[in-house]
């Protein structure tokens, strides 16, 4: 197992950003994190790469507990634990050429000489389908899609075991984003690198991940194989989230599961299910204690007490016709 996380929590002052999250990522596996804004997805990405220290819990990377690893020891580990951020313009030094940006991790984490580093930089550019001429350019001279490929190449430079992709296509147009995602999936299958894929784009998550974790207010409400989550979502929040996804067909009939009420404050979380105040099938006991994960099949579970009595399934709201 490349990454094992248990009881992971993060508080920023009084704000509970991540609350007791458990999951794992295996070699060559792509695991998706989905949920609305503020659910804790990006914070989890920062925590598992130890760019942010956890408040509680345990992070084991490649068999080693890195939860409280000192910065000096973390630096030596960073070559195998990489992250690609959603904003490629902000991720690259505007005063460095692309060649120098790709060479930096090789200088820091390998013993390659200048000639070998230059050869590796060219190899990385070709690996992500960047023209070699772009190596002499600066970030402002490349397109957003090219810059994101540079970021991916830089993450791959030291042959990592895990890459966290945090909304890697959110700032790109549809066609460029599709090319970038195809590249990421191609690299994963060829190199065996593990991927933690953070995204709002449910169609993409369904396409390129093996398993999915659904987050709400910093907690995992459902997790399982991607096919199982998308074909038979069990938690009312998962059903609501998937129903809000817009299909490619503009004439499709939308069957939404509308929710009412406000999201609870992350400063003062309720004692029971955090979705209970907005859930149309909640019963009084939903509000008294945090629901445990109910097994639904192989590696599929959901934290909802209504599963046992079959009351977890939402009926579609009024159909919304689009034209």
Domain ranges of the chain: 3-95+154-214, 232-321
**3-state SS assignment for residue 11:** strand
Q: Which of the residue ranges 92-101, 148-157, 246-255 has the most confident prediction, judged by mean pLDDT?
A: 92-101
Give the highest mean pLDDT range of 24-28, 127-131, 180-184, 255-259.
24-28
pLDDT of 267 above 50: yes
Phi-psi region of 35 (alpha: psi -120 to 50; beta: other; left: phi over 0): left
Angstrom CA distances, 2 to 33, 82, 163, 314, stand at 17, 13, 11, 36
pLDDT band, very low/low/confident/very high, at 191 (cuts 50, 70, 90): confident
Mean pLDDT of the chain, nearest integer: 88
CA nearest 297: which of 221, 227, 216, 243?
A: 227
Higher pLDDT, residue 236 or 255: 236
User: What pLDDT shows up at residue 176?
Assistant: 59
pLDDT at 321 (0 to 100)? 36
pLDDT band at 318; cut points 50, 70, 90: very low
- Predicted pLDDT of residue 175: 56
Q: Report the Cα 202 to chain-centroid distance in Å.
A: 11
Name the least confident of 53-57, 101-105, 145-149: 145-149
Nearest-angstrom CA–CA distance, 289 and 48: 28
What's the CA gap between 177 and 180, in Å, rounded?
5
Burial class of residue 60 in the structure, from the number of CB atoms within 10 Å of its CB (0-12 exposed, 13-18 middle, 19+ buried): middle
| Residue whose entry in the numeric block shows the structure tokens 């593990």 | 194
What's the rounded Cα separation, in Å, for the pair 230 and 93?
Answer: 39
For the ranges 108-117, 124-133, 187-196, the lowest mean pLDDT is seen at 187-196
59, 196 in Cβ contact below 8 A?
Answer: no
**Average pLDDT for residues 267-280, to the nearest whole number?**
92
**Is 43 within 8 Å of 32 (Cβ atoms)?**
no
d(CA 161, CA 152): 14
Structure tokens at 68: 């409280």
Contact partners, residue 90, CB within 8 Å, separation at least 6: none
**How many whole angstroms separate alpha carbon 59 and alpha carbon 61?**
6
- CATH code for the domain defined by 3-95+154-214: 3.40.50.300
Burial of 10 (0-12, 13-18, 19+ CB in 10 A): buried
Whether 316 shows a pLDDT value over 70: the answer reads no
Q: Which residues pair with 60 in a beta bridge?
A: 4, 65
Q: What's the pLDDT band for 21 if we cut at 50, 70, 90?
A: very high
Structure token pair of residue 69? 């690893």
Banded pLDDT at 39 (limits 50, 70, 90): very high
- pLDDT for 149 beyond 90: no
Cα 174–Cα 125–Cα 127 angle in degrees, nearest 5: 75
179 confidence band (pLDDT: 50, 70, 90): low
* Section 166-190 average pLDDT: 69
288-311: string of b/e by CB count within 10 Å (b at 16+)?
eeebebbebeeebbbbbbbbeeee
CA angle 146, 88, 109 (to 5 degrees): 95
The 8-class DSSP code of residue 290 comes to P
Checking if the pLDDT of 162 tops 70, the result is yes
Give 72's pLDDT tier (boundaries 50, 70, 90).
Answer: confident
- Give me the pLDDT at residue 319, please: 35
């Amino acid at each position: 197992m490349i990454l094992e996380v248990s009881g992971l929590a993060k508080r920023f002052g009084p704000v509970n950003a991540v609350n007791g999250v458990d999951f794992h990522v295996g070699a060559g596996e792509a695991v998706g994190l989905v949920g609305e804004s503020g659910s804790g997805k990006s914070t989890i990405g920062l925590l598992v790469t130890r760019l942010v220290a956890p408040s509680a819990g345990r992070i084991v990377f490649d068999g080693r507990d890195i939860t409280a690893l000192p910065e000096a020891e973390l630096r030596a580990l960073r070559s195998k634990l990489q992250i690609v951020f959603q904003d490629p313009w902000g991720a690259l030094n505007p005063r460095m050429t692309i060649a120098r940006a790709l060479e930096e991790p090789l200088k820091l984490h390998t013993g390659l000489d200048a000639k070998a580093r230059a050869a590796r930089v060219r190899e990385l550019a070709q690996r992500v389908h960047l023209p070699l001429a772009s190596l002499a350019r600066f970030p402002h001279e490349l397109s957003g899609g090219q810059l994101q490929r540079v970021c991916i190449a830089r993450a791959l430079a030291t042959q990592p075991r895990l890459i966290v992709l945090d909304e890697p296509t959110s700032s790109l147009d549809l066609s460029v984003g599709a090319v970038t995602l195809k590249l990421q999936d191609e690299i994963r299958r060829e190199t065996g690198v593990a991927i933690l894929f953070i995204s709002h784009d449910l169609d993409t998550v369904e396409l390129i991940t093996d398993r999915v974790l659904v987050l709400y207010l910093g907690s995992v409400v459902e997790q399982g194989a991607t096919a199982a989550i998308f074909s038979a979502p069990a938690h009312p929040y998962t059903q609501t989230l998937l129903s809000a996804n817009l299909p490619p067909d503009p004439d499709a009939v939308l069957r939404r599961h509308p929710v009412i009420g406000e999201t609870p404050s992350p400063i003062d979380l309720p004692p029971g299910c955090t979705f209970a105040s907005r859930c149309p099938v909640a019963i009084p006991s939903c509000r008294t204690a945090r629901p445990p994960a109910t097994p639904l099949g192989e590696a599929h579970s959901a934290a909802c007490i209504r599963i046992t009595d079959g009351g977890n399934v939402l009926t579609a709201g009024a159909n919304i016709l689009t034209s």
